[in-house]
Chain A
Amino acid sequence: MAILDGMAIDCSDLQAVGGTRFIAVRKWGASDIVQFNDTLHTITLIDEAASTGATWGVFESRLESSSLAITGANEGKEFSTYECTLSWFIPGITTTQFASLYDFDGECLMAMVIDNNDAESGDPNPSLTFANNKVIGVSNTLASQDGSNAGGFHYTTERTQQWCRLQSVEGGTGTAFSDEIGVTVTLVAKQYEIPRAYIGTTSIDANGLGLTTGS
């Protein structure tokens, strides 16, 4: 692609804040339908099946404890490798939390990270949009795919080899009473394109622990 324009940095870019607003995770399903817009480098649809929205679990974390790190490297080939690392801290170590984390084990995952920039940093009103998001484990460069589905690529868990996976759960009880008790969860995805933003429909359920994309 020709480079047609550069980029500007304005005041709002400099006021951008760090951290994540929340993290949504789901398992890849054999019937998942994903649509990409390669011109805008976005994902326009993530469905569980035709006309069936995809359900994600929303994982809260302690404020200011979660981050997404992306490391791109090019070794002289026509593609770059992007290692995406998402980690967050879960305070408590309760049975419920462990049971939830155990669901990640050995699974092919996708994760959506919504950052804190959907509302201006000085605006206390929570944003009703989730535009400032990044999806890891869903990519369209060098991914194995089956294009048989009209209107979108039809992925199967077994064949897209760029899913996100659980890399580590680190933490513990600490020793002193004032130590932190909790675990830091790390998900990683190796892909061959920068993480995309999901620009399709998103809705959060009533208790804030479920998110639906797509239809």
Chain B
Amino acid sequence: MAITNGINVKCSDIIGAGGIRNVLIRTWTAADVIVYTNGPTAHAISSIKEGASNATWYNYEFKQELPSLTVTASKENGSTAYECSLNFMMPEMDNVKSAVLQQLMDTCMMVIAVGNNGKAYVLGVSQKYSNEKASNRNQTYASMTGAEGATGAGINDDNGWTVTMGCKQWEAPRIYNGTLALYTNVGSGTGTSTTT
């Protein structure tokens, strides 16, 4: 693609806070409908739905100021691959955390990491080289690429699981700019969110 736009940097870009505010994860389904937005100033996803219904995401809370998203792009010949990695720390290794890890092990996922700057970064949902007829046959989904559990040694050490969600895709992670409703079942213990 030819270059048609430069970029401006505004005050709000500079004062945007680092770190991650929310981590949302869901499993790809055969009914998923994704609306991509492409253009000179947009590389986004405007809607993620499960058929005609809102898509449900599960909230994974974590210890603050520990999660981070890193994206590393590398180009070989004409192909540029983006390795995306999101890690977050679930404090205290207990029964519930282990059960959650079991669920993450063998499923094809998509992830939204909402930054403290308010931007919602989507991993595992990309249009480049996606299956043209069946969204769930997209092979660029996210998976749990690592989990490290540690009790620590000292009494004041952390005890918990650090989970790494990764994906390889051939476009930069997109911003979700559709409607994202966080904690739609607040108070129920296992929070869920929705995209529409």
A208 close to B79 (CB less than 8 A)? no
B132 close to A124 (CB less than 8 A)? no
Greatest chain B CB density within 10 A among A15, A124, A125 is at A124
**How many pairs of residues, A versus B, come closer than 8 Å at their CB atoms?**
51
Which bucket holds chain A's interface residue count? 20 to 34
Cβ of A106 under 8 Å from chain B: no
Look across to chain B and name the residue whose beta carbon is closest to the beta carbon of A121.
Answer: B78
Q: B152-179 CB contact bits vs A (8 Å, 1 = yes)?
A: 0000000000000000001100000000
What are the residues of chain A within 8 A of B170 when measuring CB–CB? 121
Cβ of A172 under 8 Å from chain B: no
B134 close to A207 (CB less than 8 A)? yes
A17 close to B78 (CB less than 8 A)? yes
Greatest chain A CB density within 10 A among B79, B80, B126, B171 is at B79
What are the residues of chain A within 8 A of B38 when measuring CB–CB? 123-125
* Residue from the list B43, B79, B130, B140 in contact with A126, Cβ < 8 A: B130
Q: Give the residues from 28 to 77 in chain B that come closer than 8 angstroms, CB to CB, to chain A.
A: 36, 38, 43, 77
For chain B, the count of residues having a C-beta within 8 Å of the partner chain is 22
B77 close to A18 (CB less than 8 A)? yes
Cβ of B133 under 8 Å from chain A: yes
Q: Give the residues from 46 to 80 in chain A that come closer than 8 angstroms, CB to CB, to chain B.
A: 60, 62-63
B140 close to A125 (CB less than 8 A)? no
Look across to chain B and name the residue whose beta carbon is closest to the beta carbon of A14.
Answer: B78
A17 close to B126 (CB less than 8 A)? no
A121 close to B127 (CB less than 8 A)? no
Cβ of B99 under 8 Å from chain A: no
* Residue from the list A60, A126, A206 in contact with B127, Cβ < 8 A: A126
Residues of A within 8 A of B (CB): 14-18, 21, 60, 62-63, 116, 120-126, 204, 206-208
Residues of B within 8 A of A (CB): 1, 36, 38, 43, 77-80, 126-134, 137, 139-140, 170-171
